Chain A
Amino acid sequence: MSATSAALALGLRDVRLALRNRSEVLAPLLFLLMVATLFPLGLGPDTRLLEQIAPGVIWVIALLSCLLSLNLMFHADLEDGTLEQLIISRWPLPGLALTKVLAHWLISGLPVTIVAPVAAAAYGLPGEPLQVMALSLLLGTPILSAVGAIGVALSVGLRRGGMFLALLVLPLYVPVIIFATAAVSASMAGLSPASSLYLLGAMLVLALTTAPFAIAAGLKVSIA
């Protein structure tokens, strides 16, 4: 079996597992929609205010719902011993880690990318900023999965890893949320969102190319 087909098999397995246990995929999405509903209830239905806060609020909620699903990334694999097998397998661990990241994005980041703009539209975000929002989510959520996986890898062996994960990962998410919301705000002000989106794209490339090595190192440290 070549490394590529091994990675493909691993990725397909993760996606298939998630599809057969649909509540795992749906819970973060429901969380997203429900929290997005709470904000207008708490702040009042003032459309101008909601439109103003939409980029930041929707992005923060999207980020939190990604954080919710992160915990599950390596948890089941640790419990049934798959993780050890991945580490001692003859395929490069960073490659397998990248596969896990991409599979995680497919089952958590992609649905969020589809659902979050709907919530933003409900906040009254007009056409063009809405497209920028969707694009920023498309570029930003894989970074959340990749960087988040580092935190999961480091805390996977801990008993109360879940609480801890937020402390490890949220500071590293700050640049993503800054540039993503800057892009949407720029487009709302009639300016070009290109510079922020380019930076987000650069961060995506950096995250996907370097994070797998950190994830692999983290897994080796926590499992060994």
Chain B
Amino acid sequence: MNPITLWFHKLGSPEYFFRFSGRLIPWLAAACVLVGAWGLWQGLFVAPPDYQQGESYRIIFIHVPSAWMSLFIYIAMCAAGVVGIIWRIKVAEIIAMASAPIGAAFTLITLVTGALWGRPMWGTYWVWDARLTSELVLLFIYLGVIGLYQAIEDRRTAARAASILALVGLVNIPIIHFSVEWWATLHQGSTVNLMGDNAIHSSMLWPLLAMALATKLFYAFNVLQRARVMLLDAERGKRWARRMLKLESDPVAG
């Protein structure tokens, strides 16, 4: 077996995952703080005001990365959920379920910042246009997934049931993404394209990309941290977990 596949298989072991993520989290958290601080400073203080929107546009540095994350985390949750359903890997199930509250939080931030920006720009906090409505539906689906996970007593059954629900809700993701193209929405189309021309100046683009990276790092260390706690809870009867909790002495450390 090649080393990468081997490492991937090892990661499925709760104990290995626990040790590995414990080492990774400080680095991810530090990177998140550094990149996020630079992005916020550049975005909120250095980047010039918009010629039309003035200072209000600066909410883009929170709103757009959060919106990206609300979709990204959903897809990540589904990917982990599929792995959990098919191969019954406990760590994958836990990663999927640890993702849901973070994704729901990012979705809420997206909706709230959008509403705050919409008040001065559109003259209203909320309109029932396709982008806004589908993002709201995404929040409801996140809440449904979290609710189903909480409602079922057996943790592993709950994770599998909630993952199935998340997979069914996956149809909403392309609807959100393409809503600004399919319907005549009040919400504008995307300004940032990976390929081709960007409709945004580099002094605004770089802070935005930095914030996008910072939110990804935030998700990475947060989901690992949550997964560690959930894993420890699920495995609290096992010997490795008891060692981690210092209930039993570690044979390696003596």
Question: A164 and B148: CB pair below 8 A?
Answer: yes
- 0/1 per residue, B170-209, Cβ < 8 Å to A? 0110010000000000000000000000000000000000
- 0/1 per residue, A167-192, Cβ < 8 Å to B? 11011101100000000000000000
Task: Summarize B's interface: helix, strand, loop or mixed.
Answer: helix
Q: Which residues of chain A come closer than 8 Å to B165, judged between CB atoms?
A: 150-151, 154, 168
Question: A174 and B157: CB pair below 8 A?
Answer: no
CA distance A89 to B171 in the complex (A): 31
| A157 is an interface residue with CB less than 8 A from chain B | yes
Q: Count A-side interface residues using an 8 Å CB cutoff.
A: 21
Question: B133 and A158: CB pair below 8 A?
Answer: no
Question: B164 and A171: CB pair below 8 A?
Answer: no
* Cβ < 8 Å to A, chain B residues 120-178: 133-134, 137, 140-141, 143-144, 147-148, 151-152, 157, 160-161, 164-165, 167-169, 171-172, 175
CA distance A150 to B157 in the complex (A): 15
Q: How far is the CB of A209 from chain B (nearest CB, A)?
A: 13
Question: A224 and B164: CB pair below 8 A?
Answer: no
| A131 is an interface residue with CB less than 8 A from chain B | no
Q: Count B-side interface residues using an 8 Å CB cutoff.
A: 23
Contact status of A221 and B144, CB under 8 A, knowing A171-B137, A175-B175: no
Question: A154 and B147: CB pair below 8 A?
Answer: no
| A147 is an interface residue with CB less than 8 A from chain B | yes
Task: Summarize A's interface: helix, strand, loop or mixed.
Answer: helix
| B217 is an interface residue with CB less than 8 A from chain A | no
Which of A174, A214, A221 lies in contact with B168, CB distance below 8 A? Answer: A214
| A52 is an interface residue with CB less than 8 A from chain B | no
Q: How far is the CB of A157 from chain B (nearest CB, A)?
A: 7
Closest residue of chain A to B167 (Cβ to Cβ) is A214
Contact status of A222 and B140, CB under 8 A, knowing A155-B148, A174-B133: no
CA distance A217 to B140 in the complex (A): 22
Which of B137, B157, B169, B172 lies in contact with A221, CB distance below 8 A? Answer: B157
* Cβ < 8 Å to A, chain B residues 29-70: none
| B96 is an interface residue with CB less than 8 A from chain A | no
CA distance A218 to B167 in the complex (A): 11
The 23 listed contacts between A and B (C-beta, < 8 Å) are A150-B164, A150-B165, A154-B165, A155-B151, A157-B152, A158-B151, A164-B147, A167-B144, A168-B144, A168-B147, A168-B165, A171-B141, A172-B141, A172-B171, A174-B137, A175-B175, A214-B167, A214-B168, A217-B164, A218-B164, A221-B157, A222-B152, A222-B157
Residues of B that sit less than 8 Å from A by CB: 85, 133-134, 137, 140-141, 143-144, 147-148, 151-152, 157, 160-161, 164-165, 167-169, 171-172, 175
Known: A171-B137, A172-B168, A172-B171. 7 other contacts (CB 8 A): A150-B168, A154-B164, A167-B144, A168-B148, A172-B141, A174-B137, A224-B157
